[in-house]
Amino acid sequence: MAKSNLSPEAKAAKAAYQRAWRQRNPEKVRQHIENYWERKAAEMNTPKYKARELSANGYTQRQIAEKLGVSVGTVNTYLNND
């Protein structure tokens, strides 16, 4: 994330505006939060995420491939590409 070049006064004004907007639009805030967690849940259910999780838990690429039902090359791609 880029560092802000705003003055302290501008940062305070921006924060106040955002607080007021959230208070005026609670339904939009709720929907945004709900959408965020739905996307996160979907992301965590992907083979790429599962492969990374298994790798972090000490599984070899071959073991991960067997668990996920994919080739070792696919696992290698999951683990090495962002």
pLDDT band at residue 44 under the 50/70/90 scheme = confident
Tens digit of each residue's pLDDT (9 = 90 or more) over 22-34:
999 999 999 999 9
Given a cut of 60, whether residue 1 has pLDDT beyond it is: no
- pTM for this prediction: 0.56
Instruction: Please name each of the domains of the chain with its CATH number.
Output: 25-80 (1.10.10)
Overall residue count recorded for the chain in this entry: 82
- Give the confidence band of 81 by pLDDT, cuts at 50, 70, 90: confident
Helix (H) or strand (E) holding 39: helix 26-44
